[in-house]
Structure 1
Amino acid sequence: MNRMTRTLGALALSSALMPLGNAQAGEVEVLHWWTSGGEARAAAALKEMMVAQGHTWKDFAVAGGGGEAAMTVLKTRAVSGNPPAAAQIKGLDIREWAKLGFLTSLDDVAAQENWNQLIPPRIADVMKYEGHYVAVPVNVHRVNWLWVNPEVLARVDAKVPTTLDEFFTVADKLKAAGIIPLAHGGQPWQDATVFEAVALAVLGPKDYSRAFVDNDMDVINSAKMEETFARFAKVMSYVDDNAAGRDWNTATGMVIKGEAAMQIMGDWAKGEFTAAGLTPGKDYLCAPAPATSGDFTFNVDSFAMFKLNNEDNVKAQKDLARTILSPEFQTVFTKAKGSIPVRTDMDMSDFDACAQDSMDAFRATAKTGGLVPSFAHGLANTSYVQGQIFDVVTNFANSDNPDPAEATDQLAAAIQAAL
């Protein structure tokens, strides 16, 4: 039982007899943290689509990056019997809310709209609790991307690396030429994003899932995990000395300006290249992180749907779920956010080259088993387990004398303690 379950469980028991609040008929209240740039425009588009269906949209936006502030507000609202219709919740936290009885079933909408045929099972499972849909996916981000400035690589007569050994060879050439090989921001989630890409490269999708989804100690505390830490240390040796605390978009800017050659980051980085007026395939390149070309690490935004007691609001809620997965909204939102639609039947001809490549990989890996959840971005495990992994990885990344064997033991102990 993680901390959220314990906290919410205690609060829920104390307020179980409180009545649900009555809201205005046909109103859909949506808790999210899409408060800036393209995300805010996408939220506005969703509002327009709901209003066009005759519903009233009540915006419940709580600013703050990863949604920590939003979750604090949501807990208070939910246990007082006045939850919003929908809340932006992701990963295994969806199941924690469902386990406590707060979420409603979307099975009727899913059946009408053929969600099981449109969404890969690996994604659908994250949206379900005990086999029932309780949340709807909004989009898919591919996390294991390598962003490249081709002009910088050309200076050292190098090609985009496709394996870790090729990456090290290219990075050595760049370093010798006085160029920063890998742009990076020294923050725990960014360290975990790079570590995750290396882990996928070394372990492969099957053992990656055994370690970070199933928490299998035979893989976590293994020679292959030691190798993962050793290779991660070498990758991080190509990061500049000023990386500590740097934001991810600042690191992307280094690639754009030619100060650095490459960055390992999710496809939200594409927005920075787009904002700079650059064209994918020409001014910058997007390639799978080294040795992960047949794999896809996913990060999915999603909305969990809360139990309501007003029939008109329930109808609005179901229409919201239906609208989120409509081709129209999928297109508008994913283009604004730099991600791809979660529906595998989408026509991608109007999307950019990186998005098309991403969808090709998404469809292929959904069939081959190479589609795996990102632990760095909260899709593979609880926030408590994730926090423990972050601590081990970041301490290792910042160590003056990193010891892969010691780090492997620490990772095993940390995950074991979090279960």
Structure 2
Amino acid sequence: MTKNWQGYMVRALLAATVFSYAATASVAEEKKLEVLHFFTAGSEAAAIGVIKDAFTAKGYGWVDLPATGTDTLNQVLRSRVTAGSPPNAVLMHSNEVKQWVDQGALVDLSPIATKGNWDEVMSKGLIPHLKLNGSYYGVPTTVERTNWLWYNKKVFDKLGLQPPTTLDEFHAVADKLKAAGVIPLAIGGVNWQEATLFETVLVAVGGPDFYRKAIVEQNEEALKSETMIKVFDEFRNMNKYVDPNYPGRDWNIAAKMVMTGEAGMQVLGDYVKGEMVLANLKPNVDYGCAPPPGNAQTYLSVSTAFVFFKSKDASVEAAQDALAETTFDSTVQLGFNLKKGATPARTDVDSAALDFCAQASYKAQVDAASHGQAFPAISHFEAWSPAKSGIFMDVVSTFFEQPSMTSKAAVDQLVTGLKTISE
């Protein structure tokens, strides 16, 4: 998306939110909530509809404010907060909750959490992001694995291919796809998509311990090591398997390329499967899911959560409580994630209702956590602050799209950029 077009979209959404705010205030029904979110792809919209339908069935109103991506959402949110009229409910990545807690802007959900026994039933990896200073400030919608390899099963079967488990196997498979006239790797030239692919290469080259040191611990020696240079070298090799039209492509368009057989593989999160579910495709029949090469023992994840901005209106506060309870209801969690293609944020949901890929994701999460190899993803703002994540993604994206940039230069730029952020 160009900056001019993005700017237009921000202005349009701001105008829409002002209109909806005024319209809402004029309606006799006082229980409407403005809900700002970035779930706009087909499967995401279907998933958010599960929460909306359950919420409105309780007699509340939902004013939908969809933003085209997190960048647009954050611009709109900051503008609304500055204007003194924040949306009532906002969907954001779990790691972004803290910045708003620090500003004292969010509703304390502890009474709802205590009533719902969140400490016991919430996925343990989410609690540190959502329970801050002893209180809950966000209610999760999902847990998503970001390091997945999706492939067109029928194309693979026709060519006698198996999902690659090593980088060498990946290159062999990609070369065979290319020789058959199939784009080996579908991707969008957008920084977070490129960064998601990069993270899987980092795990494959350096292993889970290196990911822990370089990413989780932000160890400078690891970040500027020869291993990191090798990661960038291997990441460069991935570029020869993408098509020339990849810049600016949305992730769901890349997913459609795999679904139709135009492309053979895509490396991205659980949400890709949501698009396949929406198209009535079947796992292990039309498409397959597997860990990316070298990622079998490692689980990289992202989660999203609703937060609620403080209001002086008692009817709004009651509706916010109702939406928090609705979002974390076990039936809603299951319905949402069946549409989204991910796994519920509750540990007490019957996994038998999930499909093959979702069950595999759930099992991978449990197994990786038991071995200390479950980590947050930077590409989805889960491991680092938004500022540091932005630097990481910009360096990775620039490197992927500019062949003249060396791996050493990318590493130096990353290390230098991170030093400019004081936290």
Identify the TM-score tier after normalising by the shorter chain. 0.7 to 0.9
Note the 1:212-227 alignment, pairs <5 A: 212-227=215-230
**Contact 2:182–2:264 (CA<8 Å) still a contact in 1?**
yes
**Equivalent in the alignment of 1:10:** none
- Deviation per residue, 1:339-371 (Å, 9 max, x gap): 221112211222221111112222333333222
**What TM-score, normalized by structure 1, do the two folds share?**
0.86
Note the 1:221-300 alignment, pairs <5 A: 221-300=224-303
**Equivalent in the alignment of 1:413:** 416
Does 2:194 align with 1:191?
A: yes
Does 2:335 align with 1:332?
A: yes
Among residues 122, 143, 154, which one is paired with 1:151 in the alignment?
154
Partner AA of 1:150 in structure 2: K
Shift of 1:254: 2.5
Does 2:349 align with 1:357?
A: no
Q: Residues 71 and 183 (structure 1 numbering): CA distance in 2 closer, same or farther, change over 3 Å?
A: closer
**Equivalent in the alignment of 1:348:** 351
**Contact 1:195–1:232 (CA<8 Å) still a contact in 2?**
yes
**Contact 1:183–1:261 (CA<8 Å) still a contact in 2?**
yes
Tell me the matched-pair count: 397
**Equivalent in the alignment of 1:13:** none
Q: Residues 82 and 246 (structure 1 numbering): CA distance in 2 closer, same or farther, change over 3 Å?
A: closer
Q: Separation in 1 of the partners of 2:154 and 2:62?
A: 47
The 3-state SS of whatever aligns with 2:93 is: coil
**Contact 2:142–2:345 (CA<8 Å) still a contact in 1?**
yes
**Contact 1:146–1:265 (CA<8 Å) still a contact in 2?**
yes
Among residues 200, 205, 210, which one is paired with 2:208 in the alignment?
205
Q: Separation in 1 of the partners of 2:96 and 2:160?
A: 47
Q: Which stretch of structure 1 is more off in the superposition, 290-299 or 402-411?
A: 402-411
**Contact 1:30–1:85 (CA<8 Å) still a contact in 2?**
yes
Does 2:17 align with 1:31?
A: no
Among residues 45, 49, 53, which one is paired with 2:54 in the alignment?
49
Partner AA of 1:57 in structure 2: G
**Contact 2:93–2:380 (CA<8 Å) still a contact in 1?**
no
Among residues 156, 169, 172, which one is paired with 2:172 in the alignment?
169
Q: Which stretch of structure 1 is more off in the superposition, 44-53 or 88-97?
A: 44-53
Q: Residues 261 and 81 (structure 1 numbering): CA distance in 2 closer, same or farther, change over 3 Å?
A: closer
Q: Separation in 1 of the partners of 2:406 and 2:395?
A: 12
**Contact 1:147–1:287 (CA<8 Å) still a contact in 2?**
yes
Q: Which stretch of structure 1 is more off in the superposition, 396-405 or 325-334?
A: 396-405
Note the 1:17-96 alignment, pairs <5 A: 28-35=33-40, 37-54=42-59, 56-59=60-63, 61-96=64-99
Q: Separation in 2 of the partners of 1:333 and 1:362?
A: 19
Q: Residues 132 and 210 (structure 1 numbering): CA distance in 2 closer, same or farther, change over 3 Å?
A: farther
Q: Which stretch of structure 1 is more off in the superposition, 345-354 or 74-83?
A: 74-83
Q: Residues 313 and 168 (structure 1 numbering): CA distance in 2 closer, same or farther, change over 3 Å?
A: same
Partner AA of 1:221 in structure 2: K
Q: Separation in 2 of the partners of 1:91 and 1:52?
A: 27
Q: Residues 307 and 171 (structure 1 numbering): CA distance in 2 closer, same or farther, change over 3 Å?
A: same
**Equivalent in the alignment of 1:14:** none
**What TM-score, normalized by structure 2, do the two folds share?**
0.85
Q: Residues 267 and 36 (structure 1 numbering): CA distance in 2 closer, same or farther, change over 3 Å?
A: closer
- Deviation per residue, 1:64-121 (Å, 9 max, x gap): 3214343333334434544343211224321111111111322232233222222233
Identity, % of aligned positions = 38
The 3-state SS of whatever aligns with 1:349 is: helix
Does 2:309 align with 1:318?
A: no
**Gaps in structure 2 of 5+ consecutive residues:** 1-24
Shift of 1:225: 1.0
Q: Residues 276 and 406 (structure 1 numbering): CA distance in 2 closer, same or farther, change over 3 Å?
A: same
Higher helix content, 1 or 2: 2
**Contact 2:34–2:62 (CA<8 Å) still a contact in 1?**
yes
**Equivalent in the alignment of 2:20:** none
RMSD: 2.6
Q: Separation in 1 of the partners of 2:199 and 2:351?
A: 28
- Deviation per residue, 1:356-403 (Å, 9 max, x gap): 111222233333322221211222222222221122112211233452
**Gaps in structure 1 of 5+ consecutive residues:** 1-20
Q: Separation in 2 of the partners of 1:29 and 1:246?
A: 29
Q: Which stretch of structure 1 is more off in the superposition, 240-249 or 316-325?
A: 240-249
